[in-house]
């Protein structure tokens, strides 16, 4: 059937763009995904859970973020520059390893128990019961990188004479990592900020002094 002149596109008329424009705020959707992964972990958070909390359809999720793993990787990066940035700041701003560790632990006590978001640490909790090898390895590398950063600062203080020459830098750094990971789980189990800060006092009491 020949179209009438009224339905024919006019010469020079712009054609309609294909597809629908994204109808959601990407940053808001990412924040909602972050909170979902933080609360439930990587494995237990399904794509349907994500589309529900992000209030978008699966096609929009895939178009904007890629698959579930790609979305999670972006979530972890976002977490590292927002809620989880206190460790990097302490290491960068404090003059000694001891000061950096104490500040990190105290800020962890506050952050991990803040009722404004899920308790504990996303990077620690999201790995629990994770059967996706690449995700598990990526999170483990991030946790080990933090321990390595603490060890580097301890070694620098030993070299500068701020810590005794016989200080076991690796053990002291790993103790810090164990405290951070333990505080995260304690917070999820209901420990208060004050209770976690009491642990910080004990943890810092073992630090060697010159």
Q: Distance of alpha carbon 18 from its chain centroid, rounded?
A: 36
Which pair of tokens denotes residue 94?
Answer: 């404090």
Could you give the CA distance from residue 188 to residue 119 in angstroms, rounded to a whole number? Answer: 5
- pTM reported for the whole predicted model: 0.85
The residues near 19 (Cβ < 8 Å, ≥ 6 apart) are none
- In tens, the pLDDT along 136-185 reads 999 999 999 999 999 999 999 999 999 999 999 999 999 999 999 999 99
CB 184 within 8 A of CB 146: no
| Number of alpha helices (DSSP H) and beta strands (DSSP E) in the chain | 10, 0
Which percentage of the chain shows pLDDT scores above 70? 89
CA distance 194 to 77: 29
Q: Which 8-state DSSP code applies to residue 182?
A: H
Evaluate the CA torsion angle 27, 32, 34, 35 in order and state its sign: positive
Q: Which residues have CB under 8 Å from 13's CB, separation 6+?
A: none
CA distance 52 to 86: 30
H or E stretch including 70?
Answer: helix 68-81
pLDDT at 128: 82
Confidence of residue 7 (pLDDT cuts 50, 70, 90): very low
**pLDDT one-digit tens code per residue, 55-85:** 999 999 999 999 999 999 999 999 999 999 9
Compute the average pLDDT of residues 17-34.
77
Whole-number Å distance between alpha carbons of 75 and 52: 17
User: pLDDT tens for residues 34-62?
Assistant: 999 999 999 999 999 999 999 999 999 99
Write the CA distances from 87 to 63, 80, 113, 116, integer angstroms. Answer: 33, 9, 16, 19
The token duo for 158 is 């030993």
Q: Examine the pLDDT at 12 and tell me if it is beyond 80.
A: no
The token pair that represents 163 in the structure block: 């810590």
Distance of CA 173 to CAs 23, 31, 124, Å? 46, 31, 17
Q: What are phi and psi of 145, to 5 degrees?
A: -65, -35
């Amino acid at each position: 059937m020949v179209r009438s002149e009224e339905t024919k596109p006019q010469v020079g008329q712009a054609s309609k763009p294909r597809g629908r424009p994204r109808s959601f705020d990407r940053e808001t959707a990412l924040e909602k995904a972050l909170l979902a992964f933080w609360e439930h972990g990587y494995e237990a958070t399904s794509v349907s859970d994500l589309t529900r909390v992000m209030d978008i359809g699966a096609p929009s999720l895939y178009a904007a973020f890629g698959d579930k793993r790609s979305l999670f990787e972006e979530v972890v990066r976002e977490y590292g520059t927002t809620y989880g940035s206190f460790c990097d700041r302490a290491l960068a701003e404090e003059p000694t390893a001891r000061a950096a560790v104490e500040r990190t632990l105290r800020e962890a006590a506050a952050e991990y128990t803040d009722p404004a978001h899920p308790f504990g640490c996303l990077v620690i909790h999201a790995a629990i019961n994770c059967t996706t090898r690449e995700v598990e390895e990526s999170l483990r590398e991030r946790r080990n990188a933090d321990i390595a950063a603490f060890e580097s600062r301890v070694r620098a203080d030993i070299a500068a004479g701020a810590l005794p020459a016989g200080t076991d830098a690796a053990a002291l750094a790993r103790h810090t990592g164990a405290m951070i990971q333990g505080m995260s789980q304690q917070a999820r189990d209901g420990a208060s900020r004050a209770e976690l800060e009491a642990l910080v006092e004990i943890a810092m009491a073992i630090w060697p002094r010159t």
